[in-house]
Amino acid sequence: MSQKRTFFQNVLLAVAVAAVLLFSLFPFIQILSTSLKHQFDWGNPSLIPAKLNLEAYRELLGLDHKDRAQVPQTIKKLLDNPLLTADQKEKIISTYQSTSDVFPFPRYFLNTFLLSASAASVSLFLAVFGAYALSRLRFYGQRIIQRSILFVYMVGGVLLMVPLYQISVKIGLARSIWGSLVSLLLIYIIQTLPVSLYMLGNYYRTIPYSLEEAAAMDGCSKSGAIFKIIFPLSVPMLITVFVYCFIIAWNEFLFASVFLRQFHDFYTLPLGLQSLFVSKNAIWDRIMSASVLTMIPVLFCFMFAIRNLTSGLAEGGVKE
């Protein structure tokens, strides 16, 4: 329809688009803005910081001298008191230094990254072959497997929370940190495997059969065709599925909180952020900059995979 819009309609359209953009993006702008503000500026509704504050970022990324940033003014005055011995001063300072470790961002980042990347890799590896079988081959029991995958794909993590915890307690995994990490890894794999199978299966179906038939004529076996034809053709989709699984694991909070609660050094970012928020060290600029830093890898993946991701999602390949 090539209808010309009147001026009034154009204004209306612009306002509507602006409103949708504002609704979608305002919380992000708010987070970024607060992460860059000084405390005196928090109550100010303006989104542009009166004075730029990078302290929180520097502290989180470990670029700051620990002792200086943490000791409050009143305590600094107290430390100037000549009556205190060096030993006592040391003690006072150390109580403040310990809190600076409360959110070791680089460490949590690494934990989350390793866990998410491993889960996404295993899940993708399993799905590459499983999805091929589901979409291109005929085998006994295929229908029931297909339906079961669709079914488990929609069973949320909450429903598996108690049994999975009890199972890992029973076989002794929940007792040690490594056992807990293994449990968590397995859980992230099952949270991403059904959706990987589903997304990849849908994609494989779009690859013409004639390609495989031609390869078969040239003497290529069925399993050879996976590596020589299907694999190379679906690289963009493989990356997309990997990214999607990675994001799911990166964002996961529930099971991390169940399995890692007592192992502070192995917290993932979501768990670390939540415990920072409820701790006495909760300061808005610190929370917001931690939020921004947690978001960055996801946004990076998002930009990278957006094209394939949206078409995959529009076909219903969603896991939440």
CA distance 271 to 254: 9
The number of CA neighbours under 13 Å toward the Cβ of 28 is: 10
d(Cα 287, Cα 39) in Å, to the nearest integer?
13
CA dist 280 and 34 (Å) reads 19
Segment interacting with another protein, rule: CB under 8 A, options 61-69, 91-99, 103-111, 266-274: 266-274
Judged by CB under 8 A, the chain residues 8 through 27 that form the site for another protein are 13-14, 16-17, 20-21, 23-25, 27
Of the candidates 262, 272, 270, 260, which has an alpha carbon nearest to the alpha carbon of residue 297?
270
Instruction: Provide, rounded to whole angstroms, the least separation between the CB of residue 186 and another protein.
Output: 6
C-alpha dihedral sign at 140, 146, 147, 153: positive
What residues between 49 and 108 interact with another protein by CB under 8 A? none
Q: Which of 134, 195, 230, 245 binds another protein (CB under 8 A)?
A: 134
Report if residue 121 touches another protein, rule: CB under 8 A. Answer: no
CB of 120 to another protein, least distance (A): 14
In angstroms, the Cα distances linking 47 to 26, 36, 282 are 10, 10, 21
Please give the size of the binding site for another protein, defined by CB under 8 A: 91
Q: Is 176 in the site for another protein (CB under 8 A)?
A: no
Residue 43 contacts another protein per CB under 8 A: yes
Site for another protein, residues 138 to 167, rule: CB under 8 A: 138-142, 145, 147-152, 154-167
Taking the complex as a whole, the smallest distance from the CB of residue 130 to another protein amounts, in Å, to 4
Establish if 216 lies at the interface with another protein (CB under 8 A): no
Burial (CB < 10 A; 0-12, 13-18, 19+), residue 56, is buried
Find, among 234, 151, 236, 165, the residue nearest to 194 by Cα: 151
Q: Which of residues 269-308 bind another protein (CB under 8 A)?
A: 269-270, 273-274, 277, 284, 287-288, 291-292, 294-295, 298-299, 302, 306
Nearer to another protein, 71 or 109 (CB): 109
Q: How far is the CB of 242 from another protein (least distance, A)?
A: 15
Contact with another protein (CB under 8 A) among 254, 263, 281, 283: 254
Q: What share of the chain is helix, strand, coil (3-state, %, to 5)?
A: 75, 0, 25
Closer to another protein by Cβ: residue 78 or 162: 162
314 near another protein, rule: CB under 8 A: yes
133 binds another protein (CB under 8 A): yes
Ramachandran bin of 105, using left for φ above 0, alpha for ψ from -120 to 50, beta for the remaining angles = alpha
